[in-house]
Amino acid sequence: MHRVDTDIEINASAERVWSLLMDFRAYGRWNPFVRSVEGEAVVGRSLKVVIRPPGSRAMRFRPVVVAVEPNRELRWKGKLVMPGLFDGEHFFRLEAGASGGVIFHHGEVFSGLLVPLLRRSLDGATRQGFIAMNEALKMRAEQPPGWKLAHAELLAEMRAGKRKSVGRAEMEWAKEYERSLIPAAARFPRKGDLYESLRDQSVGYVTAWAAPYSGGGEAALLKGERVWIHADSAEEEPVGAYALAVEYDKLEERIVPREEREAQKYGGFCFYLSTVDLNRNFRLVKTAFKGKSRFKGQ
């Protein structure tokens, strides 16, 4: 038998955290470890669970719910092929925290013949997956009610001196707000998508550098100019995507200041386009497009 335990303090009510844990349909939007859960949290019912430990492929299980105590605990138990080979009882447990929030306990008890062979992986990638989920749950649960700030607005506040910095949590809250603005029928960008601007418009661009630094600003993209999505997103439904100009050299000369283009550590530029803008202000020309560029960043 082997046990993996993790925990994290969350500054939110047990009811708030529990509601997020029970919203299985939303897992794919925020949960980096448990990518999806299908089924009902009812004792004796089977679930379809997909997990993806860091650096590993997705794995599918059909565990059975063994305990449900609202606002307190959820447990399910699964097996690999047959009982006694590699079994795991996964648990989420909430307890009151000293500061008024909750302590989220997340772990699993493993048993079976294969456990000694898999112990290193369980203490490595599996534990890291638990921790990644814990941190993501904390950020989502602590999001202020009524948050309506997008990434661009956060950065504008920082430039205006209203904020000293923008942290990871704020960036995640902004992402979720932007996601809420995406229409139900929207098409999400994928690697190789080729888009054409429907009008003259202002878009954000980013410059890459050899040092741990990125620059950028706002630029004009003219009607008829084309961009393509050059990289896959880690998310199934991304709120935006990085795109490269088809006429890369021409637009680079127009957009990026000469002193930056000629700097030794300069690595190129790209656009960042939101999913909403891609659906509203661009036309999808084709998929599986393969372009070329000197961009060395994202």
User: Is 24 strand, coil or helix?
Assistant: helix
What count of residues does the chain have? 298
| Average pLDDT of every residue of the chain | 92
Average pLDDT over residues 61-83: 93
Closest C-alpha to 280, from 198, 204, 202 = 198
pLDDT tens for residues 250-282?
999 999 999 999 999 999 999 999 999 999 999
Number of alpha carbons in the 13 Å side-chain half-sphere of residue 42: 4
User: What is the amino acid identity at position 200?
Assistant: D
Segment 202-261, tens digit of pLDDT:
998 989 888 766 688 889 999 999 999 998 887 878 999 999 999 999 999 999 999 999
The whole-angstrom separation of Cα 135 and Cα 12 is 13
Helix, strand, or coil (residue 28): helix
- CA R_g for the chain: 23
DSSP E strand stretches across 83-145: 87-96, 102-111
Question: DSSP label at 210?
Answer: S
Helix (H) or strand (E) holding 287: none
Architecture of domain 2-141 in this structure:
2-Layer Sandwich (3.30)
Can you tell me the distance from the alpha carbon of 126 to that of 50, in angstroms, rounded to the nearest whole number?
A: 13
How many whole angstroms separate alpha carbon 47 and alpha carbon 63? Answer: 6
Query: What is the spatial distance between Cα 182 and Cα 193, in angstroms, rounded to a whole number?
Result: 18
**Percentage of the residues of the chain whose pLDDT score is greater than 70:** 97
Tokens standing for residue 174: 């902004």
Tell me the backbone φ, ψ of residue 82, rounded to 5 degrees. -145, 150
Provide the percentage of residues in the chain whose pLDDT is more than 90: 70
The whole-number average pLDDT for the span 76-80 is: 92
pTM for the whole thing? 0.74
Residue 140 CB neighbour total at 10 angstroms: 22
Q: Mean pLDDT, to the nearest integer, of 176-188? A: 92
**Domain residue spans in the chain?**
2-141, 151-180, 194-286
* φ, ψ dihedrals at 252, nearest 5°: -60, -45
Residue in the structure block whose two tokens are 């957009």: 255
Give the DSSP H/E element, type plus range, for residue 67. Answer: strand 64-69
